[in-house]
Structure 1
Amino acid sequence: MSGDRPVPEPPAFPGRRWLLPSAVLDPAQEPGGGRPDRRPRRTARDWVVDFTCFLLAVGIGLLALDTVNKEVGLPDAYATLDQVLGALACAAVWLRRRWPTGLAVAMVPVCFVSATAGGAGLVALFTLTVHRPFRYVAGVAGVSVLLNPVFYWLRPDPDVSYPWAVFLSAVLTGAIVGWGMFVRSKRQLMLSFRDRARRAETEAALRAEKAQRLAREAIAREMHDVLAHRLTLLSVHAGALEFRPDAPRAEIVRAAGVIRESAHEALQDLREIIGVLRAGDSDDAGRPQPTFAALDGLV
């Protein structure tokens, strides 16, 4: 970076903020001037996705409730406990962005006890896959797959055979993990595109500033040569007056006029050189002497 002036960063995906998750948007670029150390505020897309996940968890829980009612020999107290845990699990879906790992880990024993919490468990597993590295996902998904045979052995599905129930649960878990990994990869790609665009914009601004500086320096060097020529001419005429103090009055007047004109032009060239070298620092930085037009700004 040239000097101490920071180069402004371009906005991330202007005009499409509501279509992007908060994880892709930089919190420092929020309209309210948010601090980088704060959590990014939810976008409209985040609210829509969270509400959809909540409805999905509730819908799967209602489907599982029908299966719970068909189970033979299930105590009424246990069925009530199943429904209460399912309702609490669906409500906990709103915490998935703040505590994805904790929610996914907590859902493993809850889903083992409550069939109506299965939808919330799938949403928690998907959120964990999107927001955390694969080692966390592998542990939670592996434990879930290992517990599914035990769950269906203790509570068999009246509509599906035991092998098919275990197989379908494993396939569904793998599908959720695969979908989450796809979403995570897509977000990382969008973040890389945003960072690449920001770096390209910064480099372009630096190149433009360097080109302007080089152009000002080239112009200043050319004007310096002109100024040196005028000062040389002034020195020659002054030396002639010093060498011929008894010259005719007309020649002395002409030499004095040439000296005065050369000094005035040298002063103008010097002002132009200073103006070119200081151009771009501020509005009035290139003006050696202020004028009456700058009186309002001074006041």
Structure 2
Amino acid sequence: MHPSSPPDRRAERWAAGTTGAAVIVLGGLTLVSRTDTRASTVATAVDAAATLVAVALVPLLLRRPVAGALAMAVLAAFSPAATPAATIGVLRVATVRPLATAMAVGAVSAVAHAAQGLVRPIPGLPYGWLLVIDVVTHAALVAWGALARLRAAARVEEQQRAAEEQAERIATARRQERVMIAREMHDVLGHRLSLVAASAGALEYRPDAPAEQIARAAGVVRAGAHQALEELREVIGVLRADELQGVDGEAPPQPTLADLPALVAESREAGLSVSLSGSAPDGVPETLGRTAYRIVQEGLTNARKHAAGVPVRVSVEGTPGEALRVEVRNRLPMGPSTSDGRGTGLVGLGERAASVGGRLDHGETPDGDFRLRAELPWPA
């Protein structure tokens, strides 16, 4: 924005108008109060001219406060009609300039008014009392202006701090959203690609399998690769929507516990022996059901990675007001695992369970099984 934009010019004109009006009114009142039968025509003319010059100095006071206030102080040394303008000048400097500058301008104005008391004494007011009033008044003006400047600076700092905190909250929310998207990407694509790998492995190690079985495995590979690409496209779309503030539309619906039978059937088609006990309880909240679904999905993915060909048992049960319990169990393999062993999926599952107030346990059982178990609170 240009430094002299229309809103700034309007504010400047308003300030000039109000300040000029105050100088005219207060100067006129001072001129009337100091006029009596003993006042000379020359003194009256000087006071009137001082009022007009003080009004003319208002724009200078607004643009260059120190120069304008000093000029008004010098003018006040010759005419009491310029006293209101000089006091306004001191107050203006104190509100927009450092305290040291304001004190210096206030001192000059105080000296000028002391000189005015010698040139144009006030009848009935001893000069000593005039000096006391002069010093106290200018000290009060400087203190008042400095306090106003500090309050304005505090308001600006508070607004800046609030804006920074708001920006940090937005950035934190964006980071959390991206972590959640990355976690969804790991769960979905990891599961899908593990199905593709399992089916491709069956084709590689069983070239003599019946044609129907080979065709079914090849179909699983083709469908799994296609779905993996679609899901990757959806994730990228969500990320782009976050950057473009929803230009690409809403995110696709996420799976819930009701989709668990389809997940088990999909794993069976890929050659994994899976048994499902229990069914999706009615009334499971969407977030809770999605968390349980992802836990089972990751458990099946880990079973294919670490214990290919070993039967897997999945159980789901729960009661509103207590907890939803999910368990994935399989026998530990005799040979070495083919996984890289980083375990990032289990770490993500633990965080996912904790995000809904639950807990996740995993490890070897006394009877030689590997068990992944989650207990998630289910509000009544």
The structure 1 residue matched to 2:220, chosen from 239, 242, 261, is 261
The aligned residue for residue 53 of structure 2 is 88
The aligned residue for residue 68 of structure 2 is 103
Q: CA 1:101–1:131 in structure 2 vs 1: closer, same or farther (change >3 Å)?
A: same
Distance in 2 of aligned mates of 1:84 and 1:48: 24
Does residue 1:239 correspond to 2:204, yes or no? Answer: yes
> Alpha carbon RMSD of aligned pairs, Å?
2.9
The 3-state SS of whatever aligns with 2:224 is helix
Contact 1:64 1:116 in 2 (8 A): yes
The structure 2 residue matched to 1:153, chosen from 118, 126, 130, is 118
Does residue 1:59 correspond to 2:25, yes or no? Answer: yes
| Alignment deviations for residues 43-101 of structure 1 (CA, whole Å, 9 cap, x no partner) | 988776655433332232123213442384x6533431331121220243244332212
Distance in 2 of aligned mates of 1:159 and 1:70: 14
The 3-state SS of whatever aligns with 1:116 is helix
- Structure 1: where are the runs of 5+ without partners? 1-33, 288-299
Please state how far the C-alpha of 1:104 moved relative to its aligned partner: 0.8
Distance in 2 of aligned mates of 1:134 and 1:277: 57
Distance in 2 of aligned mates of 1:144 and 1:132: 16
Distance in 1 of aligned mates of 2:140 and 2:11: 23
Q: CA 1:190–1:128 in structure 2 vs 1: closer, same or farther (change >3 Å)?
A: same
The aligned residue for residue 162 of structure 2 is 197
The structure 1 residue matched to 2:235, chosen from 258, 276, 293, is 276
Please state how far the C-alpha of 1:252 moved relative to its aligned partner: 0.7
The aligned residue for residue 83 of structure 2 is 118
Give the partner amino acid of 1:107.
Answer: M
The aligned residue for residue 295 of structure 1 is none
The 3-state SS of whatever aligns with 2:239 is coil
The aligned residue for residue 229 of structure 1 is 194
Percent of aligned positions that are identical? 19
Distance in 1 of aligned mates of 2:219 and 2:64: 81
Please state how far the C-alpha of 1:280 moved relative to its aligned partner: 3.2
The 3-state SS of whatever aligns with 1:113 is coil
| Alignment deviations for residues 200-226 of structure 1 (CA, whole Å, 9 cap, x no partner) | 111011101111111111111112321
Number of aligned residue pairs: give it.
246
Distance in 2 of aligned mates of 1:111 and 1:254: 107
Distance in 1 of aligned mates of 2:112 and 2:13: 32
Q: What is the TM-score normalised by the length of structure 2?
A: 0.58
Distance in 1 of aligned mates of 2:152 and 2:203: 75
Q: CA 1:49–1:98 in structure 2 vs 1: closer, same or farther (change >3 Å)?
A: closer
- Structure 2: where are the runs of 5+ without partners? 242-246, 252-380
Higher strand share: 2
For 1:32-43, list aligned pairs within 5 A: 34-35=1-2, 37-38=3-4, 41-42=7-8
Contact 2:57 2:72 in 1 (8 A): no
The aligned residue for residue 212 of structure 1 is 177
Distance in 1 of aligned mates of 2:218 and 2:144: 84
Contact 1:100 1:128 in 2 (8 A): yes
Please state how far the C-alpha of 1:42 moved relative to its aligned partner: 4.4
Give the partner amino acid of 1:221.
Answer: H
Q: CA 1:43–1:206 in structure 2 vs 1: closer, same or farther (change >3 Å)?
A: farther
